[in-house]
Structure 1
Amino acid sequence: MTMPETETHTAVLDRIVDGETAVLLLEEAGDVVDELALDVDALPDEGRHEGAVFEVRVDRDEGTLREATYREDEERERRESAQERFDRLSERLPDE
């Protein structure tokens, strides 16, 4: 019997639907390549919020989650980077 092949991705929790279904956006090289809907209880407790970042292993054939590891540091870095971009964009341009 062979073990199913898995793929590893960075995933971001996009939304939680009806408090039960988590929708993860799977990324490769910073681009969204797929999404995965699963029971929110399949995720680690500390990462059950929108914007949470995970490293996930997904069964390639079935498209099912095999493992999810919450990446708090990466989530924090993404939030800080987004805030910095927002702050730069919101600065007033000098009068010409």
Structure 2
Amino acid sequence: MTDSYTGVIDRIEEDTAVLLLEAGETREQLELDPAAIPDAGYHEGAVFEVELSGETLERIEYRPETERERHERAQDRFDRLSERLDEE
């Protein structure tokens, strides 16, 4: 059985890439060999579609559009909070 997740690179260390996996409200952490990360997504905050069979990585696909959308939503939230602080 294969499970699908959205994965976000939390950090890249010397010999490990740490992805935070999301499936609905479920959040897990997955440690991978950095060589398994596609070159285009080899940076913190990169977003992937990840498929696991048990604990075995079956597929990882970089999703730059999803990454951009998430970044824009986060920036919008930050801007709204900043405006409220400026009003006080």
Q: TM-score, normalised by structure 1?
A: 0.83
Q: Which has a greater percent of helix?
A: 2
Shift of 1:6: 1.4
* Equivalent position to 2:45, from 38, 51, 58: 51
**1:81 matches 2:78:** no
Quick one: which amino acid aligns to residue 13 of structure 2? V
Shift of 1:32: 4.6
* Cα pair distance change 1:32/1:16, threshold 3 Å: farther
Q: Counterpart in 2 of 1:27?
A: 22
Q: Based on CA coordinates, which of the two structures has the bigger radius of gyration?
A: 1
**1:14 matches 2:10:** yes
| 1:9-68 CA-partner distances (Å, limit 9, x unpaired) | 1111111012x3100111012x352110010110111001000000011112xx121110
Confirm or deny: 8 A CA contact 1:25 1:35 kept in the other structure. yes
Partner Cα separation in structure 2 for residue 24 and residue 66 of structure 1: 15
Confirm or deny: 8 A CA contact 1:25 1:32 kept in the other structure. no
Quick one: which amino acid aligns to residue 9 of structure 2? L
Q: Counterpart in 2 of 1:36?
A: 30
Identity among equivalent pairs (%): 53
The aligned length equals 86
RMSD: 1.2
Could you say what secondary structure the match of 1:49 adopts? coil
Q: TM-score, normalised by structure 2?
A: 0.90
